[in-house]
Structure 1
């Protein structure tokens, strides 16, 4: 069993009881890899820390998996190696079945809504149980009735002439994400189901798993749509876009780069090369500039994370719920190794920037850090530090 201790440095303002923007407030890993009966609380800016093997990266993978399922990705793409997530020493039943369980709580206008999944990993990958709960009342359940069929039996709250509606759902998709296509919304009960499902889907879909890869960020890249990929390998193309379209945010990015990079940074521009490619350059003052390929690994990772925080979903490869206004959504950045390759100054600057950005509610961060960085973070207002013990 994983023991979790939380330390929070509070902000000046509390979280409203019914926030307008849905967000994941708790990640549950009931039986997932090294976790059993674990509940991880998530604030606007949450850092997971602990010894090697304590499950920091695993927790982020669980959050990312839920986000992908909410976006409609099939189960086999989300869990290409499902056996890796079955808890160790879990024996198979008489039918040779083994699996894992995970879930979350989402706060929002509908109140706290819980989503829990039971996934069969062997012998066939499938969702064998799903439950959506609002205020202690179950709004959706699914269960595997016939192992020979690639479907589960779903039942959802109606509160009309028929109290519960039943229908088959595919066993490789998140049923909660399918509800808007199946529920008419003609009764009060159906409207409640739709509100809860939408809240969960919106919160989960608005996630961006970011892991900057410095070795892939140094070269020239083709001009594209200017949306940052998870590895940040097209950083130069995004800087081209922010330089021309987001002048105010770009100026703040330059100031942040200057605070965390060796030597002065007076500008971040791009050089147009033959064949339609661009290469990023850092201004050094007095008409001088150097290619970003000369920056260290820590400087490039610091710059990439700062770009994500300062520009938000408009320049990221994310697919938030298009039918919901952006002002009603909060982007969640999943950052494994937030402090990797960073020195102490860069770490302090990035922690302060993230805490400031997360304070307005539009962006949330869930990251993993070393214990040394966690010690720094405990003195930063607005940061929740979660200690994971193996």
Structure 2
């Protein structure tokens, strides 16, 4: 981690927390940098968000955040999740139901009593490195007061609050046609970048560039799955539905019912992972169909012997749920993929707060190895938080980048 000073508009912005990662998704061709075919968030920026000040986090295929209590690990994941939800079209008030909680502590109000927070990211992909910056007013009313989308340093979209009494911001985007810039009002409770595909015709080279940059950001951010397994809700029998795993993994039995019959190869890998991470021998993961139509997951312990999955410990259940997410991917998760973009061009990012919670050292080591193996393939990425003990193990695991927020 190093401190830098960013120069801009003739002034210094102070120390910037950055972490250098050696992980890359693809080796560049000699003489030029290769552009990854699947858009992904390569950097998360939290210039003023909760406890963060000028924090810059490079994100590799598998990045784990470490640090003491209060260092901002969970807040960083919350910032990523917020950008993902805004890119999916969620209104600002749904993403930030308690906006004052994200205003930096001791941040003073201006003459009009306004306070807020800022966050952003860089998305790598076919359009190059596209940067998104967002400024949100939390008080006295919640609204987006500024947004900037840039590609290779050139501004493609800006929004600004012109009339504090209205409910819109003034947007301007690059067109490079007969009219070099197009201006129009945008709602102040939606991400302007996500609205561009509905507003830009794509008839000029400039418009096509704006669309490519906006769609790259939207595709990368929307392809996120928040995963925080709750063991207490994973033990009961559940009804059979779509078989899509929820963020809390409470319908684990239902998803196992689906994978057992539809994803034989992945299910076999999951069984092998369960055998490695659970106490005692595990020879299979089956599902019992109850008389009322619900399903109950069971662990097979050998010929003629099985026990309900609910008898596993909290650490075993969290381990199993996270392994299921890593091995099966978006086709069994409650995610909203971009339908018009082929799945081969999208990389799912799993956000796992407390990645090692409740697990012992053996389970953590097995899960880290599995995550590194899966993320190396390029279709899956993971951003999680871990304890200091796990961070020490992760630093010695190939393919894992550890960011220490305490430094």
After TM superposition, the score normalised by the length of structure 2 is 0.94
Structure 1 residue 274: Cα displacement: 2.2
Which of 160, 163, 166 lines up with 2:180 in the alignment?
A: 163
Aligned to 2:265: 248
Contact 1:129/1:144 (CA < 8 Å) preserved in 2? Answer: yes
Which of 343, 347, 351 lines up with 1:326 in the alignment?
A: 343
Cα displacement string for residues 75-119 of structure 1 (whole angstroms, at most 9, x for unaligned residues): 000000000000011111111100000000000000000000000
Structure 1 residue 13: Cα displacement: 6.3
Which of 42, 47, 51 lines up with 2:64 in the alignment?
A: 47
Structure 1 residue 286: Cα displacement: 1.2
Separation in 1 of the partners of 2:147 and 2:19? 28
Aligned to 2:9: none
Please tell me whether residue 304 in structure 1 is matched to residue 321 in structure 2.
yes
Aligned to 1:100: 117
Separation in 1 of the partners of 2:63 and 2:402? 6
Q: Which runs of 5+ in 2 are unaligned?
A: 1-13
Aligned to 2:55: 38
Runs of 4+ in 1 over 3 A off after TM superposition: 1-16
Separation in 1 of the partners of 2:179 and 2:278? 64
Aligned to 1:376: 393
Aligned to 2:91: 74
Cα displacement string for residues 165-224 of structure 1 (whole angstroms, at most 9, x for unaligned residues): 000000000000000000000000000000000000000000000000000000011111
Q: Partner of 2:405: helix, strand, or coil?
A: strand
Structure 1 residue 5: Cα displacement: 6.1
Separation in 2 of the partners of 1:108 and 1:152? 28
Separation in 1 of the partners of 2:199 and 2:18? 41
Aligned to 1:83: 100
The RMSD of aligned alpha carbons is 1.5
Structure 1 residue 47: Cα displacement: 0.3
Please tell me whether residue 338 in structure 1 is matched to residue 355 in structure 2.
yes
Structure 1 residue 4: Cα displacement: 4.4
Contact 1:114/1:132 (CA < 8 Å) preserved in 2? Answer: yes
CA pair 105-12 structure 1, distance change in 2 beyond 3 A:
closer
Question: Relative to structure 2, which stretch is displaced further, 194-203 or 13-22?
Answer: 13-22
Number of residues of Structure 1 aligned to a counterpart in Structure 2: 390
Separation in 2 of the partners of 1:186 and 1:310? 42
Structure 1 residue 2: Cα displacement: 8.6
Cα displacement string for residues 263-304 of structure 1 (whole angstroms, at most 9, x for unaligned residues): 111111111112211110000011211000100000000000
Contact 1:2/1:388 (CA < 8 Å) preserved in 2? Answer: no
Separation in 2 of the partners of 1:180 and 1:3? 33
Separation in 2 of the partners of 1:28 and 1:87? 14
Q: Partner of 1:345: helix, strand, or coil?
A: helix
Separation in 2 of the partners of 1:227 and 1:11? 31
Separation in 2 of the partners of 1:125 and 1:4? 28
Contact 1:206/1:332 (CA < 8 Å) preserved in 2? Answer: yes
Q: Which runs of 5+ in 1 are unaligned?
A: none
Q: Partner of 2:157: helix, strand, or coil?
A: strand
Q: Partner of 2:171: helix, strand, or coil?
A: strand
Separation in 1 of the partners of 2:27 and 2:256? 35
CA pair 379-84 structure 1, distance change in 2 beyond 3 A:
same
Q: Partner of 2:131: helix, strand, or coil?
A: strand
Contact 1:2/1:35 (CA < 8 Å) preserved in 2? Answer: no
Structure 1 residue 43: Cα displacement: 0.2
Contact 2:174/2:210 (CA < 8 Å) preserved in 1? Answer: yes
Q: Partner of 2:339: helix, strand, or coil?
A: coil
Contact 1:9/1:378 (CA < 8 Å) preserved in 2? Answer: no
Separation in 2 of the partners of 1:338 and 1:9? 21
Separation in 2 of the partners of 1:355 and 1:324? 26
